[in-house]
Amino acid sequence: MPMFKVNVKWGKEKYTDIELSSEEPPSVFKLQLFSLTNVLPERQKVLLKGATIKEDWGNLKLKNGTTFLLMGSAEALPQEPEQKTVFMEDMTEDQLVSAMDLLTGLDNLGNTCYMNASVQLLKSVPELEKSLQKVGLMSSLAGMSGGNLDESVATGFANLIENLKSGSQASIKPIMFLQLIYLRFPHFAEKNEHGHPMQQDANEFLTELMRICQQKLEPVANNDEQEVAAAITNKRSNFIDQYFSIDYNVQLQCIDDDAKEEAVATSTETSLQLNCFISQEVKYMLTGIKSKLKEEITKRSPTLDRDAKYCKTSEIKRLPAYLCVQMVRFFYKEKGGVNAKILKDVKFPMNFDAYELCSPELKKRLQPARNNFEAEEEAKAEAQIAGKLAGVKKEKILKKSPEKKEYERFDFEDDIGANNSGHYELQGVLTHQGRSSSSGHYVSWIRRTEDEWMKCDDDNVTPVTSEEVLKLSGGGDWHIAYVLLYGPRRLEKKPT
């Protein structure tokens, strides 16, 4: 292949000893010139002795030292970006949290995983965040100098949630909040014989924190003062009662043979959690819940003037937007004096329907919203069938629009914070790993999107899938679901 060393003159610039092959087309030579001058090939005009070089060399005779003339303006060089690219491996933990939209973790301050897991679980309730914003900022010594400790704990909780929301740090140290908890609940500050903080029961802490919020968080309204009035009329005088309170109709019937004349007693009860009792027969969460709603108890009979057996039957007459389900896994074991743990595998669903647990009156009230959900499901099923017939892939049919969705209201106009359909979606799980409530480790698992979850293991927050979450049902020494938090299933608004 004949090779030549040639020169190129471009304006005031001159390039020498450029290698050129006469067997390669001029387009290759123009690419060489582009690398030297930044003049795009389509902008180049290359001349030799007044003749323009086109698609081939023609009859031109090339030799070493030949000088070409280049005409054309150079492409502007790209500007250096104002903000340099930072690769993931070079990022700090705080930068990774911000870039990947991860949750901020909470440092373990000495067996405080029970507190960290509970806080992360409650933080997943967006309406709670909004309600806590109304709590005023506290001074650094508020509550430590004889003030209202309940109010200080509520304010400390609000500040902690606000710091977690910022997402600017990989983790934060909840020192102030922990000190307020120790002051308000001294038993959480207990230490072992070595002077180290003792592990505490996460559900006990969660219950105490919700009771503080029950006292200090005002009720919320969606639109106007009428809804606030409706909340108070329905005895929902605070946020927790609105969004977490479960109401029951209760019947108590004596089942002793000699108490046939005793009338059935009726009453109402309220709780902030459903309990799933775990026996040998219980394999699913719903079965364990139903066993508690119909149970046999012993109490004193006013008719017989002695202890007698009663059948206690409970029906839910009001469902909250957020349904807490406690898996009753711990029982007191006299041998060893510890709250031992039931490791049995009990399955829980990603989508939970509480309809069959409700009273006839509530079922009737839930029906309109349930009809809308059924219509939505039918429309999706018809779309899938139509897509299959047309040869469209299922993934395309179910692909969600990137646009922000709008949803129908999930509560009743006269009962803010209720659930108007009975349909729920799992949004958080608090798990325990270990053999007793006073030992082991607590972790929270929080749902971010349809199939994306975050495992909040104190300061270590990592993404996980829904399949991994469903494996938390028990059966071994791995993390086991202890408290499940279900949020309202949302119905998309139909386009007008």
Can you read off the two tokens belonging to residue 206? Answer: 């969660």
Residues with Cβ within 8 Å of 58's Cβ and at least 6 positions away in sequence, in order, are 51
**301 forms bridges with which residues in the sheet?**
306
Buried b vs exposed e over 49-79: b needs ≥16 C-beta within 10 Å? eeeebeeebeeeeeeeebebbbebeeeeeee
The most distant pair of C-alpha atoms in the chain lies apart, rounded to whole Å, by 126
Secondary structure (DSSP) of 44-86: -EEEETTEEP-SS-TT----TT-EEEEE-PPPPPPPPPSS---
d(CA 58, CA 78): 36
Q: For 487, phi and psi rounded to 5 degrees?
A: -105, 170
* Contact of 211 with 185, CB cutoff 8 Å: no
Can you read off the two tokens belonging to residue 239? Answer: 């946020």
Residues with Cβ within 8 Å of 88's Cβ and at least 6 positions away in sequence, in order, are 96, 99
SS3 at position 180: helix
Catalytic residue among 213, 311, 358, 441: 441
Active site residue 113: yes
For residue 12, give the H/E element and its range: none
Catalytic residue among 113, 276, 324, 456: 113
* Contact of 332 with 342, CB cutoff 8 Å: no
**51 forms bridges with which residues in the sheet?**
48
d(CA 22, CA 3): 7
* Contact of 322 with 366, CB cutoff 8 Å: no
Q: Pairing state of beta strands 351-353 and 274-277?
A: unpaired
Residues with Cβ within 8 Å of 485's Cβ and at least 6 positions away in sequence, in order, are 121, 124, 125, 322, 323, 324, 325, 426, 427, 428, 429, 430
Secondary structure (DSSP) of 216-259: HPPP--SSSHHHHHHHHHTT--SHHHHHH-EEEEEEEEE-STT-
Residues involved in catalysis: 113, 441
